A and B are shown apart, each in its own frame.
Chain A
Amino acid sequence: MSRRILPGFKFSLGFTITYLALLLLLPMAACLYKASALSSSQFLGAVWTPRTQAAYRFTLEVSLWSASASVLLGLLVAWVLVRYEFPLKRVFDSLIDLPFALPTAVAGLVYSSLYVKQGWLGQYLVPIGIEGAYSKFAVVLVLTFLGLPFVVRAIQPVLETIDADTEEAAFLLGASRLQTFFRVIFPAILPATVTGFALSFARSLGEYGSVVFVSGNMPFKTEIAPVLIVSRLEEFAYAEATAIAVVLLGLSLAMLLVINQLERWSTSRAT
């Protein structure tokens, strides 16, 4: 662009890199440095025990479930927001962002109290066998709450760009409504949908604040990986906590790469 005309290139880039180095790269380096002090058997001993395996499995499982639920529900919500008119639609639209703004601890607190036996929703659900508190379902539920806006906000703008002409063209060529959806609309929003899934999945993998409230944190059953890190820390087992954190960090970085690729795919398709 205008590297030579506009001022402040060296200063702004220097400041940015310094800030990132101090706040981001230095801590990551410290984490890797601490982990590297472990021998490989120590490392494996920390990250690959029956309890950690159960925690990874549980974390992945609830993240997959919640991201899938977010995609299904988010698709529905985005569809309705873009295509239909109804009273209070603007309020409805802005409420979608609430999970972005609401502290996760509050989400955890309220979800844990809604679905217990005496809770507003629990009083109807618990008698028919749906345990929405201190269970796997409870975790999936609160993670779906957190993931929903990621999916809606990923799909909504893309859905808006599909103009009426395109649908009319499909219709005139003889496609039914379902054929139009599956052959024309869905392929167009697929990259955005997958991006939404990945964002919500990534968010779920690392989530801590809300899950501690609702999961019950039972080892081998409803314990997520971040909770495991915290309990290791509370036992002053820093090395083990660090080892598990490295695994989680690797997973996060991988997700970030995937999301970046997906977003590139989305924009290349949008033209």
Chain B
Amino acid sequence: MSIRIDGVTKQFGNFRALDNVSLNVPQGSLLALLGPSGSGKTTLLRIIAGLETADSGNVFYDEQDVTSRSARDRNVGFVFQHYALFRHMNVFENVAFGLRVRKTPKAEVNRRVEELIGLVRLSGMERRLPSQLSGGQRQRVALARALAIRPQVLLLDEPFGALDAKVRQELRQWLRRLHDEIGMTTVFVTHDQEEAFEVADEVVVMNKGRIEQLGSPREVFEHPANPFVMDFLGHVNVFSGRVQNGKAHWGGVEVAYPDYPHGESRDAAVYVRPHELDIERLEVEGSIRIEVKRVNPAGAVAKVYGVSVDFGSDVHVELTADRYAELDLREGEVVYVAPRRVRVFLPEYSI
């Protein structure tokens, strides 16, 4: 089933949770709603499920308007952040709940529940109560329960947020595989960009009730639409520069910026990711001087923290281990930093 959101707005008191949001989720896709707290991602998910009603705008399932249809009748599978398992029911009864309230025949209930418990790899734990399960197991029960009613769309609210790092990693892989197997349209909410990129086909970056960018993980990461997205998707160095005549300048660095062909000079923000900076001992063209303050070689990349000699701003560089070993940097030494790639944003897009 495909989902279409058309011009949805939602206000809570003085707080505008969603501001005229439109979005298409094609049949069978796995989409992540990514954004910081208060960006409206959870509200959007709840409006898709029918748990909140939009102040204006419409929700379509397969081009059928379901805006006024009750959540009960939408037949969606929903997984809550904190699982929301029925604590007095065992695993079997939790999964069977949706079937029981639909008065499904007993034999059918047993068959379907066993099948789902097998699918989430909890066979043998049917009689356990939620309190006797680990976090990851609870999450899988919640998923099986949501799938029991054969939903046409699966919605997950921060599905891995309450789990520890290792379990989270396993469940991500597992959710991806599960989606590939059953191919159900799936939307999940997360504030963790790594999680969104790893699991989803499409990522929707949200901020302040609006969609900032929509695209594949690669598109969004490589071509962030604006400073917010750039900033949200990982560490970034921000420098203030100017644009004029199709070029952007910052310190001694000049890069092409065809989007601004005008003669009048304007302030602009120049964004460079740490791993897109190179360090050289000798001055190269288009570089700035930094004094190395601290190096942290632990991990897959070596992190170098420095301060620009000419502007005084912090500069953060990531080097490969090989390059780091080759350079043999000392704290306190002055080196040249050259960007391989920069992104320039004009101030109307400022965060």
Contacts and interface: CB of A to CB of B under 8 A. Distances in A.
A122 to B, nearest CB: 44
B146 to A, nearest CB: 8
Contacts of A235: none
Contacts of A179: 101
Contact of A169 (B73, B80, B100, B131): B80
Interface residues of A, dominant DSSP: helix
A101 interface: no
Contacts of B51: 168, 171-172
Given A172-B71, A174-B102, A269 B87 contact: yes
B72 A172 contact: yes
A166 B86 contact: yes
A174 B34 CA distance: 28
B78 interface: yes
B71 A175 contact: no
B21 interface: no
B84 A163 contact: yes
A194 B51 CA distance: 33
Contact of B71 (A171, A188, A270): A171
A157 B271 CA distance: 52
Contact of A168 (B71, B73, B101): B71
A165 B84 contact: yes
B72 A188 contact: no
B88 A166 contact: no
Interface string A165-198: 1101111111110010001100110100000000
Contacts of B77: 172
Contact of B97 (A170, A176, A190, A269): A170
B82 interface: yes
Interface string B120-158: 000000000001000000000000011011000000000
Contacts of B101: 170, 173-176, 179, 183
B72 A165 contact: no
Given A169-B145, A173-B97, A184-B86, 18 more contacts: A165-B80, A165-B81, A166-B86, A168-B78, A171-B72, A172-B49, A172-B51, A172-B78, A173-B101, A173-B149, A174-B73, A174-B98, A175-B101, A176-B72, A179-B101, A183-B97, A188-B87, A188-B88
